[in-house]
């Protein structure tokens, strides 16, 4: 189980452009907001992505990375449609979601299925998880992230 104060699990996965993104490449350079969300183009996920987009200028010295199990192509369409200024990681095999413990059993309308539980991890420049937001509620979340980053 991942806890605040732990080293963030490293990963190496493709973004929307097919480029490999390695978490460790930001170490000693930038803080990272790693946010996991269920699916591109859905209402809550679109609101969350657009909130990060709208506050992007306030996220100085910080890299925002969104992660879902959607494909690179679907991520490209999502970024293009909403003019998102950050990378989306195509975690089609749930490797990153499993490392962070956010690939879980979910229930919707009485049905159980596996999926990403909306969660955010703030990782400092040393690669340490400074804050975990489990089971994120979209409304007001970006403001919580900004407040936490101001403390780093």
Assigned token pair, 101: 């413990």
Rounded to whole angstroms, how far apart are CA atoms 136 and 126? Answer: 24
141 neighbors 52 (Cβ within 8 angstroms): no
Q: Please, which residues bridge with residue 35 across strands?
A: 66, 120
SS3 at position 34: strand
Told to judge if 50 belongs to the known catalytic residues of this protein, a careful annotator would answer no
Q: What DSSP string runs through 73-92?
A: HHHHHHHHHHT--SEEEE-T
* Per annotation, catalytic residue among 8, 23, 32, 45: 45
Residues catalogued as catalytic: 45
């Amino acid at each position: 189980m991942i806890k605040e104060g732990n080293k963030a699990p490293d990963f190496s996965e493709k973004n929307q452009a097919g480029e490999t993104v390695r978490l460790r490449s930001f170490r000693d350079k930038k803080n990272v907001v790693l946010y996991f969300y269920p699916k591109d183009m859905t209402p809550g996920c679109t609101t969350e992505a657009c909130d990060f987009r709208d506050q992007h200028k306030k996220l100085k010295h910080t890299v925002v990375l969104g992660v879902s199990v959607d494909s690179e192509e679907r991520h490209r369409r999502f970024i293009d449609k909403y003019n998102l200024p950050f990378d989306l990681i195509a975690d089609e095999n749930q490797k990153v979601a499993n490392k962070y413990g956010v690939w879980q059993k979910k229930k919707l309308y009485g049905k159980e299925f596996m999926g990403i539980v909306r969660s955010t991890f703030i990782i400092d420049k040393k690669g340490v998880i400074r804050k975990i937001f489990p089971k994120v509620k979209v409304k007001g979340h970006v403001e919580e992230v900004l407040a936490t980053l101001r403390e780093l």
